[in-house]
Amino acid sequence: MRRVAMVGAGMTQFGELFHLGIKDMLPMAVGEAVASVDKGFDRGDIGAAWFGELVSTDGFASGILADSCGLLDIPVSHLENACATGNDAVRHGVMAIASGMYDVVLVVGADKVRETSTRTTFWDWMGMTRDSAWDFPLGLVAPANFALHVNRYLHESPATREHMAMVAVKNHRHGVSNPKAQLRFEITIEQVLNAPMVVEPFGLFDCTPQSDGAAAVILVAEDVVDRYTDRPVWVRGVGLGVDRVMHAHKRDMTTFPPTVKAAKQAYAMAGVGPGDIDVAECHDCFTGVELINYEDLGFCERFGAHKLVEAGETSVGGRIPVNPSGGLKAKGHPPGATGVAQCVELFEQLRGDASNQVDGARVALAHNIGGPTAVSAVTILGTARGG
């Protein structure tokens, strides 16, 4: 297969961006990605583009990207895969280049959660990311959805709410140095445990904030990479896994099968294993979910996640730092942008340019789990081109 490199990456601030619309954020993220290309970049080189967005606030999604970023002479498509949208969009960029149809593609993700249009309410939003005929009318909004899993996980594994709190404390600490993060302040275990309850077992600080934001990456074929940079980041592997939509059909609430499937595909394609990962950005929409992710991604054995976080192994400075950007928890979570922004962070990590740098990082993993825990996307990046 034709190999694919990431040569540019950029993102907006994540946060409550009431002063910015989608049409403002898209050019900001794309502009930063273009400016990050070492040897300069002509937008006319872009052969095709993908826009990952969950819910349109401004209407026709692919047209809005094309129009606001001056991409009128190339194909532009809109992709949606719940909270796995961002890394699935990257996967599509990789396929497009590997196919030989395009040498250079743009992958953009964005969402405005803090401003829904007059016609699209927050509840449309929630309904479209789960089974809206059955689970959703019964109250299965995102926090309730993940709470079903994490309650069972706390019951079956030795992990406790304290371990969940350690995840929040770690990710907030990581986010302090990230200028793009939404919540740049440290918190304590006590604050997490004593915060108002959202839904058992998630207190306020166990939950990601709701965010607006956009992120963009530029992917190119191995044949042309030298035109753009001497220090590319290679997309070594991509994977996407799915599962049944309704919670009545899940066989084991303590694991997310889509993550296991997506990771298996991505590891195989990259020719690496969990032990090769130097740094990861994984989907900590709720603290307990990050613990389950450690296990599903193979960073530790089943029900061993609490030991990892207890020992500080997933902190920057530890064996396998997770969410050095602050993660969804502190950096923020505009769903369409999240996976792309994870790749922006890892692009910087692998080039030694990150705000919270993991020393000597050479192989990195990005991960989303989304929808009714029914889809996951994994991207593996590396400094080496791969065999």
Which residues make up the interface to a copy of itself (CB under 8 A)?
Answer: 1-2, 21, 23, 48, 56-64, 66-67, 71-82, 88, 91-92, 94-96, 98-101, 117, 119-121, 123-124, 127-133, 135-136, 239-246, 249, 261-262, 265, 371-372, 374-375
Residue 207 in 3-state DSSP?
A: strand
Q: Rounded to the nearest 5°, which phi and psi values hold at 28?
A: -65, -50
Instruction: Tell me if 361 sits within 8 A of 331, measured CB to CB.
Output: no
Q: Which is nearer to a copy of itself, 112 or 174 (CB)?
A: 112
CB of 307 to a copy of itself, least distance (A): 31
Instruction: Tell me if 333 sits within 8 A of 323, measured CB to CB.
Output: no
Residue 60 in 3-state DSSP?
A: coil
Choosing from 174, 333, 343, 367, the catalytic residue is 333
Q: Which is nearer to a copy of itself, 189 or 242 (CB)?
A: 242
Residues in the chain: 387
Residue 33 CA to residue 48 CA, distance in Å, equals 15
CB of 1 to a copy of itself, least distance (A): 5
Q: Token digits for 95?
A: 């396929």
What is the widest separation between alpha-carbon atoms in the chain? 56
The CA-CA-CA angle for residues 172, 177, 182, to 5°, reads: 55
Cα-to-chain-centroid distance, residue 50: 16
Q: Which is nearer to a copy of itself, 1 or 230 (CB)?
A: 1
CB atoms within 10 A of CB 384: 11
CB of 106 to a copy of itself, least distance (A): 13
Q: Which is nearer to a copy of itself, 193 or 242 (CB)?
A: 242
Residue 374 CA to residue 370 CA, distance in Å, equals 6
Q: Which is nearer to a copy of itself, 1 or 139 (CB)?
A: 1
CB of 319 to a copy of itself, least distance (A): 30
CB of 297 to a copy of itself, least distance (A): 17
CB of 58 to a copy of itself, least distance (A): 5
Phi-psi region of 15 (alpha: psi -120 to 50; beta: other; left: phi over 0): left
Q: Which is nearer to a copy of itself, 26 or 181 (CB)?
A: 26
Buried b (16+ CB within 10 A) or exposed e, 41-64: beeebbbbbbbbbbbbbbeebbeb
The CA radius of gyration of the chain, in Å to the nearest whole number, is 19
Q: Which is nearer to a copy of itself, 154 or 221 (CB)?
A: 221
Choosing from 83, 207, 285, 343, the catalytic residue is 83
92 labelled catalytic: no
CB of 139 to a copy of itself, least distance (A): 14
Helix (H) or strand (E) holding 216: strand 212-221
207 labelled catalytic: no
* Closest among 113, 36, 49, 40 to 79, alpha carbons compared: 49
What is the identity of the amino acid at 357?
Q
Q: Which residue has the tokens 């900590």?
A: 284
* Closest among 300, 310, 305, 304 to 275, alpha carbons compared: 300
Q: Which residues are catalytic?
A: 83, 333
